[in-house]
Structure 1
Amino acid sequence: MFELFTSMMKEEWRIHSTIFGSLSFALFPVMIAGIAFMSTFLLPLFGTVIPIQQLVLITHALFLLLGVMVGGFGLLGNEVMNRRFGQASLLAYSARTLPLSERFIFLNFVIKDTVYYFILWVFPFVAGFGIAAPILGISMGYPLMLLLTLTLTFLTGLAWVFLLSTIYARSKLVLALAGVLLVLVAGASTLFFGVDLIGTFPPLALFGAFSPAVLLEALLLIIVPFIIAVQAFTTELADATKRYPNRFTPLMKRLSFFPYPYLAAKDLLDLLRTGAAVGQTIFSFLLPLGLIWLFLSLIGSFLPHSALLLLFAILTGVLASTMYTWLTAFDTVGSYGCLPIAVRTIIFSKICAFSLLQAIPAVFLAIITITTGAGQYLPSVLVLALAISFFGLAVTIYLTGLSPNVLVYDAKVLVTYLVSMAIVIVPLIVLSFMNPFYPLAAALLLFPTAYLIRRSYPRWERADIEGF
C-alpha cells in the first residue's frame, strides 16, 4: 500500500510539473503561505469590525468548504475511473492490468489526495500565520492548535461529502432520504433541545478548549464516514450497462439558436449522463452556498440586510463562474484533434452551455431574495451575480483555456486570477454598502468580459498549434 501511495504522489508531481513547470507548481503553497502571512497583519483591523471569534469561525468554515468541494470523489463513480483517471492518472487505472481491486486503488487515491491538498492548502496557510504570529505577539500555541483544528475541519468536510456522493452514485433515493433525515435531526436538535450545532462542531470546540474527549469525537466524525464510504465505493454497479434514447438530436434542435448547437448539446449530455448535472449542483454549488449563507448570517448584525444580500450575490457569482470547470471536466483539446474544429469554436460552444447553466444561480438567488422579503433588490442581486460570473468566466478562459481544472494550480495563474477578480469585486462591495442599487453598474463588466474572451481565442489557438 505504501509503495502504491508513494508512486501516486510521484505521479501527481510529475503530471503537474510537466504541465506548468516544477518551479511554478512548487511555488503554489508558498503563495498560499504568503497570503496568510500578509493577512495576519490585518487581524487588528478586522478585529475592530468583526469579533475575533467570528473570524475563527469563518476561517474554519472556509476549510470545511474546501473539504466539501474536494470530497465529491464518489460523485462520478466509474466515470472518474474510466475518463479522468484513464487520461491523467495511470496508476489509478491499474485495476485493469494489475491484481489490485478498484476499492484498494481508490483508497490509496483518497489518502493521496488528502495529503496532497493538506500540503497545498492547509499547512501553507497555517505556516504563513505561524511565521507572522511572533511578530504580532501572538502565542505560538495558536498556530499549532489551528493546524490541528483546520486539518480536522478539512477532513470532516471531505469525509462526509465523500460519503454522501458515494451514496448518490449508488442510489439518489437513499441520498434524498439521508438528506431529509439530517435536516430533521439538525432542526429538532436546534428547536426542541436548544443545541448550538455550530458551537458544538468538534474541531471548532477543540480550538476553544482542548479536550481529549472532543478530539476523539472529531476523529470519529472523520473515520466512521470515511470507512463506510470506502467500503461502499464500487465501479461495478448492477446497472453499469446503460442504454440511452437518442437525446442528442432533439436537444440539438432545441439549441438551434446557438451557433454550434451540436457541441453545446454534447456538453450538456455529458453533464446529464454522468450525473454531474445534479451532483455538481448539489455538492459544488448549493451545499457550499448554504454554508456561506449560514456563516454570513452570523455577521448579519454588523451589516444592513441589503448589504449582506448583495455580498452573498457577489460570492454566488464567483462560485457560479466555476461552472465552466464542469464543462471541461470530461474532454480536452486533444480529444478534438482529429476533427475539423477550431479551438475558438470549442471555447465558444462551452460559453453557450455555461450561459444555460447560469439559470441555476439566477433561480437560487431569486428564491433567496424573495423569501427574505427583499424583492425590491432582485435586479441588483441578479445583475451583480451574473456580471461577476461572466467576468470570472472570461478571466478563467483567458488564463486557462480549456484546462481550468489543472492550470489553477499554477501559482502565477492563480495569483493573476485572484488579483483580476479582486480589482472588480472590492469596488462592487463598497458600492453595495453605499447604496443597494449602485451595484447595477456591474453591467459595465460586459465590456471587459467581451474583450478578454476575444483575446482568448487567438491566445489558445496559438498555444494549441505550438503544442502540436
Structure 2
Amino acid sequence: MLLKELLREEWRMHSTMFGNTNFILFSLVIFGLCALFALITPLFISSKSILSFSHYLFFALGISIGSFGLSGREVLNKRFGEISFIAYSSKILPVSVKQIFLNFALKDLMYYTFFFIIPFCTAFIISSAITTITITQASLMFITIPLTFFFGLSLSFLMTTIYSRSKIIIQLIIGCSIVYVFLNLGFFTQEIVYENMLPPLQLFFNPTMKMLIVNITLSAGLFLISTLLFNFEFKAKGKGHKTLFRASKKPSAIKAFMLKDFIDLHRSQGGFGKILFSFLIPILIIEVMMSFVLKIFSVSGEGLLILFSVIIGVTASTIYNWLAEFDNAKKYLNLPINPKKICLSKTGLSIILGIISGSGLLIISFLFSEASITSLGFSFIIFTSVFAITLSVLVYLTGLNPNTLLFDAKTFLKYMLTLAPIIVFFMLQAFSYSKINHLFLIPAPIILTTISIALFKKSMKKITIFE
C-alpha cells in the first residue's frame, strides 16, 4: 500500500509540472536514443562487446544512483519537498522509517526500470531484426540488465553505508583497487576476466536457473545488509563544526552563496563522498570497459584520452545537479535575494569542483592510456570546454531545477540534441586521431568556450525561482 501511494505521488508530482503526456514521452525519448545506439554500434563493434559494455554501463549507473548510505536521510528529507514529510510519519504512525526508506528505494528502482531499462532493452529487441544480436540475447537482457543495475545499486549502497561509518576503510579499498587495476590493466581487459567479474553478465552468457538464483540472492543480500547497517535515526541533537572560512573583507552575495553551498556539501551526510560515488567511480568503470572495446579499432592512446576527456566533461556537470538537488530555491522567495546570484554561485562552485575532480580523473585516464604528455594538456583544454558547454546548456534549459526539469521530455530532448553533435564530432576525431587533425581540433575548444559564455549570459536573463 505504501509503495503504491509513493508511486502515485511521484507520478502526480511530475505530471503536474509537465503533464501526463509529456512525462510519458520521456521514456519514448530514451527509447529513441537507445534505438540509435542499438542499431548503429553493432555495425562497428562486435555484438559480444556491445552487450558486455551495456551491462557495465548499467552497473555504473547503479553505482551512481545507489549512494543511499551518503544521501539516504537527505533524500527522504529534502529531495521531494513537502511530499517527503512522509519520512517523518514513522514518529506518529505505526510504520518504521526503515520500511519507508525501503519503499522509497523500491519506488526509485521501479521508475528507473520503466524510464531507462525497459526502453533500452526494447530497443535491442527491435534492432535484433537487422543486426547480429539475436532475439534470444535481446530478450535475456530484460532479466540481466535489471539485475546488473540492482547489483550496482546494492553494492554502492553497501559501500556508501560503510563509508558513512568509517571513511578510511572504503578509501583504502578504492585506492588499492585503482592501483591494482592500473598495474594489471592488460589482465582486466581480457574477455574471460571482465565477463566473469560481473555476476549478471555471467548469467547472460551462461543462463542457468542456479545462476539466476545466485544473482537475485547476492543483490538482495547486499541491499538487506546495507539496510540493516544504515542509521535511519533523525535525532535533533546539537553538532559542532569547525569554522572553514574567515570573514571576508569584501562581502559578496555570490561568494557568500558559493561558500554556503560548499559548507552544506561538506557538512552533509557523506560530504564529498557523493562526488566520489556518483561521478568518479562510475566513470572509471566505463573508461576501463571502453579501453577494451576501443582496442578493436586500434585507437591511439592520444585518441582514447581525447574521448575520455569528452566523457568526463559531459558527466562533470552532474555536480551542479548535486548542488541544486538538496537546496530548494523556493525557500529564498521571502528573502531579498536575486535568483541570478543563487544560480551564479552554484554554477561557480560546480566549475571549481568539476575542474578539480575532472582533472584528477583525466590524470588517472592518462596513466591508463599510452598517450604523450602533450596530449594530456590538449585533452585538459577539451575537457574544460566540453564541461563549460554542457554546464551552460544545463543551466539554460533547467535553471535552478535540473533534477526535475530533465524529466521533461522536451527539455531532455533539447539537451541531448544540443550536445550530441559535439560528442559525435570529438568521437570521430578521437577515432581518427593524427597530428594533422590535432591542429584541426585547436579551434573547437575556443568556439565551445565562446558559445558557453554567450549561452550562460543569455540564461541569466531568463532565470527565475519559479522555473
Residue 446 of structure 2 is aligned to residue 452 of structure 1: no
Corresponding letter in the other structure for 2:215: A
Corresponding letter in the other structure for 2:224: I
CA-based RMSD of the aligned residues comes to 2.9
In 2: Cα distance, 1:184 partner to 1:264 partner: 34
Corresponding letter in the other structure for 1:288: P
Residue number in structure 2 paired with 1:311: 307
Residue 200 of structure 2 is aligned to residue 203 of structure 1: yes
**Which of 227, 246, 268 pairs up with 2:224?**
227
Q: Structure 1 residues 196, 238: closer, same or farther in 2, change over 3 A?
A: farther
In 2: Cα distance, 1:240 partner to 1:311 partner: 48
TM-score by length of 1: 0.89
Contact 2:324/2:400 (8 A) holds in 1: yes
**Which of 286, 289, 297 pairs up with 1:295?**
289
Offset, 1:77 = 4.2
Residue number in structure 2 paired with 1:156: 151
Residue 31 of structure 2 is aligned to residue 36 of structure 1: no
Range with bigger deviation, 76-85 or 331-340: 76-85
1:90-169 matches, cutoff 5 A? 90-134=85-129, 139-169=134-164
Q: Structure 1 residues 177, 140: closer, same or farther in 2, change over 3 A?
A: same
Residue number in structure 2 paired with 1:324: 320
Q: Structure 1 residues 334, 257: closer, same or farther in 2, change over 3 A?
A: closer
Residue number in structure 2 paired with 1:440: 442
What is the DSSP-based 3-state SS (H/G/I as helix, E as strand, rest coil) of the residue aligned with 1:402?
coil
In 2: Cα distance, 1:265 partner to 1:69 partner: 25
Q: Structure 1 residues 183, 454: closer, same or farther in 2, change over 3 A?
A: closer
Corresponding letter in the other structure for 1:387: S
In 2: Cα distance, 1:351 partner to 1:258 partner: 15
Q: Structure 1 residues 300, 351: closer, same or farther in 2, change over 3 A?
A: same
Corresponding letter in the other structure for 2:441: P
Corresponding letter in the other structure for 2:117: V
Range with bigger deviation, 169-178 or 197-206: 169-178
Contact 2:69/2:157 (8 A) holds in 1: yes
Offset, 1:177 = 5.1
The alignment covers a number of residue pairs equal to 455
* 1:117-165 deviations in Å (ceiling 9; x for gaps): 1111111211232234346686432222011111111111111001111
Percentage identity across paired residues of the two chains: 32
Residue number in structure 1 paired with 2:428: 430
Residue number in structure 1 paired with 2:366: 369
1:3-402 matches, cutoff 5 A? 3-46=1-44, 50-85=45-80, 87-134=82-129, 139-176=134-171, 179=174, 196-200=192-196, 201-236=198-233, 241-247=238-244, 249-250=245-246, 253=248, 260-301=254-295, 302=297, 303-357=299-353, 358-369=355-366, 372=369, 374-402=372-400
* 1:13-42 deviations in Å (ceiling 9; x for gaps): 011111222111111112222223343332
In 1: Cα distance, 2:270 partner to 2:316 partner: 15
Bigger RCO (CA 8 Å, 6+ sep):
2
* 1:66-102 deviations in Å (ceiling 9; x for gaps): 1111111221243333322554534334223322221
Contact 1:85/1:93 (8 A) holds in 2: no
Residue number in structure 2 paired with 1:416: 414
Corresponding letter in the other structure for 1:8: L
Structure 1 unaligned runs (5+)?
none
Q: Structure 1 residues 96, 178: closer, same or farther in 2, change over 3 A?
A: farther
Structure 2 unaligned runs (5+)?
none
**Which of 394, 403, 406 pairs up with 1:405?**
403
* 1:321-361 deviations in Å (ceiling 9; x for gaps): 22111211221221111111111111111122122212221
Q: Structure 1 residues 226, 182: closer, same or farther in 2, change over 3 A?
A: farther
In 2: Cα distance, 1:28 partner to 1:104 partner: 29
What is the DSSP-based 3-state SS (H/G/I as helix, E as strand, rest coil) of the residue aligned with 1:443?
helix
In 2: Cα distance, 1:460 partner to 1:65 partner: 33
What is the DSSP-based 3-state SS (H/G/I as helix, E as strand, rest coil) of the residue aligned with 1:260?
helix
Corresponding letter in the other structure for 2:7: M
In 2: Cα distance, 1:440 partner to 1:280 partner: 34
Corresponding letter in the other structure for 1:163: L
Range with bigger deviation, 75-84 or 129-138: 129-138
* 1:400-453 deviations in Å (ceiling 9; x for gaps): 000101111111111111111112222223333343454333132122111211
In 1: Cα distance, 2:329 partner to 2:417 partner: 27
